[in-house]
Amino acid sequence: MSSVALSKNKLPKDFLWGFATASFQIEGSLDADGRGKSIWDDFSRQPGKTLDGGNGDVATDSYNRWKEDIDLLVSYGVKSYRFSIAWSRIIPLGGRNDPVNESGIQFYSTIIDTLLAKGITPFVVCFERFGDRVKYWLTFNEPWCISILGYGRGVFAPGHSSDRNRSPIGDSATEPWIVGHSVILAHAYASKLYREQFKQAQGGQIGITLNGDWMMPYDDAPENIEAAQHALDVAIGWFADPIYLGHYPEYLGVMLGDRLPVFTPEELAVVKGSSEFYGMNTYTTNLCKAGGDDEFQGKVQYTFTRPDGTQLGTQAHCAWLQDYGPGFRDLLNYLWKRYGKAIYVTENGFAVKDETSKPIEEALSDHDRVHYFQGTTSALLAAVAEDGVDIRSYFAWKTLPEGLCALHLPVVQGQRREGRASRAARKGPLAALAARLVNAVKA
């Protein structure tokens, strides 16, 4: 991000920027203060389920070191922090009528109070007990991952798959679509409950965060242009179209036939318009070719290799991730034009290749990650200033860059933990980038 671009492009005064984390990936202390088990506890301990064999027992030890983490946020000058609540800490037995663990409530309540005292706006899930202080709510995070990776590919908890080498149970042809449909309904009715019973008194906003990357045609061939749209229909439209437009994408029905669940008119009336904003998690851009057979990709082939043989961008530690800033801008424009809702970028980040095996000095220089964020933040500024896209927030994933990859998508790398000095040193290059973004917000 050049100083010239920053002096030319400005963000709205109330723009929220900060970092995002997930409870299982950072907290550790899985048996502390009455926490119950989650499906991820056992799943992550099974051999081969995480890329580096880690689990959430320690993670980045944020349950014990959350004050340091908030101090790190303050040092960056962030305006907001998006974090998830571990329901296993709130309702350890997991049932709707089971007792609430007040120790879990108090842990998150203290974090919220500390953030507010430091001038940092919290983005959270769970609105009854914290609604007097939290004004931005997310019902679900990445339902595509819940559905496809948890009930189709079997690489996320609970690990269901038709592949019997991976899971003893599961039907990848039907379960993901049923789960996705159920998540949409659960989101819609939770949103309805909030708007009817809490919104007027609490004055908050409620929405959902959908993951989805930009899909770019491999070349100008009509079939590849069509393939890119089909990929978008499955990666994004599967959830976004019902919630914002009131129907599933036509292509999804063509591809799945009677395996695609159907909303009743009464359900659809609740689903449509159930998110007050567009929560966007995105990481990369895919080049799309026609002719694939993977339904989870819209029967489209993904590649990072251009027709001339060059790579789209720098390869990350995760096979599915390369950096490509222009794709970020294209996706912002696509979502704005298609759905017309203010966009909150709720996750965006980069896992540096072989980071954990690099000398500490090289790892701390963070060249690839800084380059990635320069590309995406420059694209964001251009989308706001030049394209007129209504973008309200940007959350980098995440405060501490450890543990981004599992087999396919971000999961914990459980046993690695940085020392206190290294934890503080991490902020160097990203702090400089953060300062530039702060300066881009209108005074």
Comparing CA positions, the residue from 203, 202, 279 lying closest to residue 239 is: 279
The active-site residue, picked from 347, 355, 402, 418, is: 347
Tell me, what DSSP letter sits at residue 305? B
The CA-based dihedral angle spanning residues 103, 105, 107, 112, taken in that order and rounded to the nearest 10 degrees: -160
Q: How many residues does the chain have?
A: 443
Give the number of other Cβ atoms within 10 Å of residue 396's Cβ: 27
Say if CB 88 and CB 97 are below 8 A apart: no
Tell me, what DSSP letter sits at residue 96? T
Sequence-ordered list of residues with C-beta below 8 angstroms from that of 172, at least 6 positions apart, any chain: 151, 152, 153, 154, 160, 161, 162, 163
- DSSP assignment of 120-133: -EEEES--TTTTTT
Tell me, what DSSP letter sits at residue 245? I
Rg over CA atoms, the chain: 21
Task: Write out the two tokens for 442.
Answer: 């209108």
Residue 304 is which amino acid? Answer: F
Say if CB 240 and CB 180 are below 8 A apart: no
Comparing CA positions, the residue from 210, 179, 208, 180 lying closest to residue 192 is: 208
Say if CB 251 and CB 233 are below 8 A apart: yes
The Cα–Cα gap between 219 and 305 comes to 11
Active-site residue flag, 347: yes
For 162-175, b where at least 16 C-beta lie within 10 A, e where not — what string? beeebbeebebebb
Sequence-ordered list of residues with C-beta below 8 angstroms from that of 434, at least 6 positions apart, any chain: 76, 77, 78
Catalytic center residues:
347
